[in-house]
Structures are given as structure tokens and as C-alpha cells.
Amino acid sequence: MQTPADFFSHNNLISTTHPQYRQIAIIIYSCVLFVGIFDYVVGRPPTSAVPLNATIRLTVFCAVIICMCVLEWIQQRPQTRLLISPPLHLLLVTLLSGIPIQLSNPNYGQLLLLIPILFAELTFARWVSYLTIFAAFTFRFLRAAFGESPNFISTVDVQALLIFSVLIVLIWLMARLIKSEWSNRLNSEHLHSELKESSAQLAHMAVVNERNRMARDIHDSVGHHLAAVSIQLEMASKLHDGNPNASLGAIHQAQAATQDALRDVRKSVGALRQTDESFELVPAVEMLISRIATDQLIINYRLDGDEANCSQPARLVFFRAIQEGLTNACKHANPSHINLSLQFLPQQSRLRIIDDGVGFDPHLPTSGTGLQGLRERVEAFGGSLSIESRLDEGTFLDIILPQPSL
């Protein structure tokens, strides 16, 4: 619903929106007051239609201008600004501006009529500004037509009206420039605020992404090493009585996995890994298989192509996927055979992991973060991940990474 303030105005209060107005108003008030006092001191009091002597006219003249200055001071202070609304302020300024013109020489007194024009243009809607200009010019015309001059409109009056018209145009253009400058400033501040907000959002997103990356790295590196330790220790416990040598070998494998976990922790905490660090996928996969494969778990590994055709980020994605697939199979599926296939082609690379374990329902929610982190890695690389599994029928994991070549 439109309020009366909305009907008149399109800005905030002038004292807060356009502080340049206060400076212009005070300068004009001061100049008119100084010239009026100077005329009286040098003995050139102007004639006036008001039947008052020069001293009384000067006293009223000074009092009115001082009241106008006080009015500006009231509107400038935040504590008293709301005492006088902008429409009432415009009305008071317009009425008070007419009094000194009747009591003084209109050639310099007419400058006071420029104040309400400036105020209206800066504060109110455009039609209010036009109405104020019309009222000021009409008042000045009536002063020239029915003033102390015996002629209705003399040549001097026409010249004065033309000068006053030029002053109106200049003050109106000045108001437009002030509004344009202030609008640009507000737009700049708004843009700066939006940029700061966007920067804060980007920083927050960067922090969230970094946290997610760290969570994936911890799960995929340290978590899988610890899972391998757990598997080897469980195997050592089962083989302790029947096959001590095999049990001792499982313990050695657990110790090696522990050392790998400690190394990864040091890299993560110390931020030692660089973006250009070399990573060889095939040796890492072979080492991982040697630590997980046992007499009860046979892992068939097949490699097609050369990993040199695959970028290092893609190799790391494949390695994390193999870690996740083999570890999940050992922990949850209890398989006897796992088929692992790596294929490097010019346009894409592919990983397949198939086990004959107990399987699971891929549509049911899981409490772990491994598959979710793996899916995030694959999607971030622009690849696709699909998992097929049925109870008692094993699990099939398929990952395709497009354009992984260097």
C-alpha cells in the first residue's frame, strides 16, 4: 500500500541522502544575509512595497534567514530530523524564502527561491519539483509585476526574470548531477556489498569443499590402510593355531599397512603432497592386491593399455575406487573371488570390480561415507559410476572417466 511519503518522495531524508544540499543551502543563506547587511551599512536600503522602515526591514530580513538556517540545522540532526516531515520542510522553506524578497532587493533575494527548487528535485518525485519551479517563478514574476516599479513589466524586470530563469536551470541541473553522483555511489556500494557477500560465499564454499576433500582423503587413505590392518590381524588371529607362519606373514602385512597409514597422516597434516607429485597407479594397485589377497580370497587382476595415457588425477581416482571396492568387499561381502580390470583407452579409461560375495541392496541408505566420497570424486572428474548388486549374487562396480589422457 502506498503511503503519503511514497506519494511525494522517492528517496530517504535529504540530510542523509544528499549532504551536498546542506552545503549549498548554507552558502546561499550566508551570501544573501551578507549582501543584505552590506546594503544597509553602506546606506543603500532598497525600496519595498512593505511600509516599514529600513531598520525593521533589516531585522525581519535577518531573522527570517536565521530561522531558515535553524530549520536546516533541525533537519540535519538525527535526534530532531523526524520533527518536521519533508513535505512540511519544503512548504516552510518556500514560504520563508518569499519574505526576504519582499523586504530586500529582489536581485539577490531571489537566490533564496533556489533552495526549495533544489530540495524538491533531490527529495521528491519529479512532478513536485516541477510544481516548485512553477511556484517560485510565479512568485518572482508577481514581485516584478506588482513591486515598487510603476510599470507592469519593465525592461529591467524582463532582464531579471531571464536571469532568474537561468539560475533555475542551473540549480536544477546541479540537482540532477548530485542525484546521479549519489546514485552511482549507492550502486557502487551495493555492488561492493554483493562482491563481499559473494566472496564470503566463495570462501565458505572453498572451506566446505576442502573439508569434504580432506574427509575423502582421510577415509580413502588412512581408513583403508587401517581396514587392511584389521583384515590382516583378524586373519592372523584365525591362523595362529593352525598355521603360525601364515599368521606371522599376516602380522607383517598389517605392520606394513600401519606404516603406510602413518605416512599418509604425515602428508595430510604437514601438507607435503604437491599438485605435481608423481603417482604410479599400477605399482600401487599391485601392492594393494598383495596385501589383501589370501588363500581364501583370490584377486584376478587384468590391465589393458598404458597408464601413461591417463592423467595423474584420473589415476588417483581409480586408486581410491580400487581401495574402496576391495576394502568393502573384504569387510562386508565375504567373497572368494574378485575380478579387477583396468582399461586405458585414448578417449576414456575404465575400471571394473566384480566379486562373488553376499551382495547388498544398492537402493538402501548406508551409514558409511566411502561410496559417497567415491561418487563425488568421479563426478568432479566428469566421469560416471554405476553399482549393481543383488543379495547372494555379488557386486559389480563400473567407473568410466572421459578424456583422462595428458
- When pLDDT is averaged across residues 136-144 and rounded to a whole number, the result is 82
Pairing of strands 298-304, 395-402: unpaired
Retrieve residue 174's grid coordinates. 546541479
pLDDT of residue 14: 43
And the C-alpha cell for 49? 512595497
User: From CA 328, how far away is CA 315, in angstroms rounded?
Assistant: 20
Alpha helices in 218-369 (DSSP H): 224-239, 244-270, 281-292, 312-328
**Which residues, in sequence order, are CB contacts of 212 under 8 Å at separation 6+?**
373, 376
Decide which of 233 and 141 is more confident: 141
CATH topology for 279-406 is Heat Shock Protein 90 (3.30.565)
pLDDT digits (tens, 9 = 90+) for 55-97: 888 888 888 888 888 888 877 776 766 677 888 888 888 888 8
Neighbours of 249 (CB within 10 A): 16
**What secondary structure letter does DSSP report for 220?**
I
Please give the model's pTM, rounded to 2 decimal places. Answer: 0.43
Query: Tens digits of per-residue pLDDT, 103-131?
Result: 766 667 788 888 888 888 888 888 888 88
